[in-house]
Amino acid sequence: MQAFADLLERLLLTPSRNGKLQLLTSYFASAPDPDRGHALAALTGELDLKSIKPAAIRALAEERMDPVLFNMSYDYVGDLADTVSLVWQGEHGANRTPPLSEIVETLQDATRAEAPRLVAGWLNGLDATGRWALLKLIMGGLRIGVSARMAKISLANLGDVDITEIEEIWHGLAIPYEPLFAWLEGHTSRPSPDIPAPFRPVMLAHPLVPKADRDNANAIDPELITPDTFAAEWKYDGVRIQASVEGTVRRIYTRTGDDISHTFPDVLAGMTFQGTLDGELLVRAEDGEGVAPFNALQQRLNRKTVTKRLMDSHPAFIRAYDLLHDGEADLRALSFQDRRNALEDFIARHGTERLDLSPLVPVTNLQDLDTLRMNPPAPEIEGLMLKRWDSAYVAGRPAGLWYKWKRDPFLVDAVLLYAQRGHGKRSGFYSDFTFGVWKGEMLTPVGKAYFGFTDEELKQLDKFVRENTIERFGPVRSVTPEIVLEVAFEGLQRSARHKSGLAMRFPRINRIRWDKPAEEADRLETLEAMLPE
């Protein structure tokens, strides 16, 4: 357990991606089985210890110190694992550090009544870093700047193999992944899990205009995008998915390989083909023709079960972009032109109300495409995708083949109203900011953002919050309404759940308007005018 704790702490304190990869690869090379397998499961979000929840951890801490003092400490620190690890008073003589695998396997077999006693015993025997790591392990959501893909890349580095080789077999592997490590270390051949309709690593696009060049009118070479070189299609505001059918098995994966089939039984029923499609998961609009806003799709996501009423009111479907497999035939090495021809024939044979074809957008010249990008035929379209006609379907994000050209974001000037502490590396800073605009003579909240600013700007905002707090509501502070934030967002829609009646899509802080007084911030009418007709 101590080696895992040291790994988490060093990952948290290491800012560079390459540095994190080196730490992960080194750990997986040195840690024994099955410890490293359980660590991998925790890092990739595959570990689920159902026998104990955060509320039980909090109750353990409050049994050992004054609850009011604990709540004050939690409010100050902002992270439950951090707080408990710091305030926990261990017992004399309890100094055994158990292996990571022992902790995981014991909790997997424990009942909810037994688990708190077990955790308390381990907390007594660990130092502050070990306690913190144990609690992060139990509660999930490590927040140490390591994604599941980064963990898999470190495995690829360990075995000197391509990341796609790991992703293609990942869903057929079981914790603690001992056959996987044996293969990566050269002891056995590559595992061949017998899983029908497996996930195939997806192909991703680069931004046509990098963020640093967004204000440069000449950032794009007009000779780059020509009808003979590139195809164009709409970029819909949904969830990129992969739909795969093999025999009687039907699966829907996210682009990161998460299996979300159980949430969309209506879509599975419409997958009457054999093969693998790349597409966008969307919800039909009420007219049965158009696409509903992303908020409608959100009602369907992350549900353990879905009711018939919800499926009827929010009918989901797939808009197909690409064809990876037609039956047993692997088409990924073909050009996009050939795959597109095959896809059109495929949808003609297998299309249903749950599966249709993404239309191509005529490519003429860069100026006309720019006009289409900024004025798409529906508000649920984010912009354009540009794909070379001669591009094979290559896993990852290869350069020069596919580009995304999103519509410029909407901008609004809003006033900072509330702030809350972040988590993980940001647990010591106020980094979650609620902002509002004027409604009459009052400010009304319209959204919340927790990124878009630099580390230096975060320090400045945190300092302002601490020095200008008006009231406290648990972990939330209201502040003097003086700071104006320029907020960027991708879309806007009406929402009965929000006091303002509006909900922003993907809001983030674009810049801090230190120069602008709060009374000059935008009004609610300004946002309402941005609503799609």
Q: Give the residue numbers annotated as catalytic, written as ranges.
A: 235
Tokens at residue 314, please?
Answer: 């929010």
Beta bridge partners of 71: none
Beta bridge partners of 281: 239, 318
| Distances from the Cα of 98 to the Cα of 87, 126, 431, angstroms | 21, 9, 35
| Closest among 342, 208, 325, 314 to 273, alpha carbons compared | 325
The number of residues in the chain equals 533
SS3 of the chain: helix, strand, coil, percent, to 5: 35, 25, 40
How far apart CA 193 and CA 189 sit, in angstroms, is 12
| Distances from the Cα of 177 to the Cα of 40, 155, 195, angstroms | 8, 11, 15
| Closest among 56, 145, 74 to 420, alpha carbons compared | 74
How far apart CA 320 and CA 267 sit, in angstroms, is 13
Rg of the chain over Cα atoms, rounded to whole angstroms, equals: 26
**For residue 224, what are the contacts with CB-CB under 8 A and spacing of at least 6?**
366
Tokens at residue 26, please?
Answer: 């080194």
Q: Can you list the positions of beta strands (E) in 122-221? A: 206-207
Judge whether 103 and 36 are in contact, CB under 8 Å.
Answer: no
Judge whether 255 and 199 are in contact, CB under 8 Å.
Answer: no
Classify the C-alpha dihedral 515-520-521-522 as positive or negative: negative
Task: Scan for tokens 């020069």, then name that residue.
Answer: 400
Please tell me whether the peptide bond between 176 and the residue prior to it is cis, using omega within 30 degrees of 0: yes
| Distances from the Cα of 364 to the Cα of 235, 334, 369, 401, angstroms | 18, 25, 7, 18
Judge whether 243 and 350 are in contact, CB under 8 Å.
Answer: no
Residue 72: φ, ψ to 5°: -65, -40
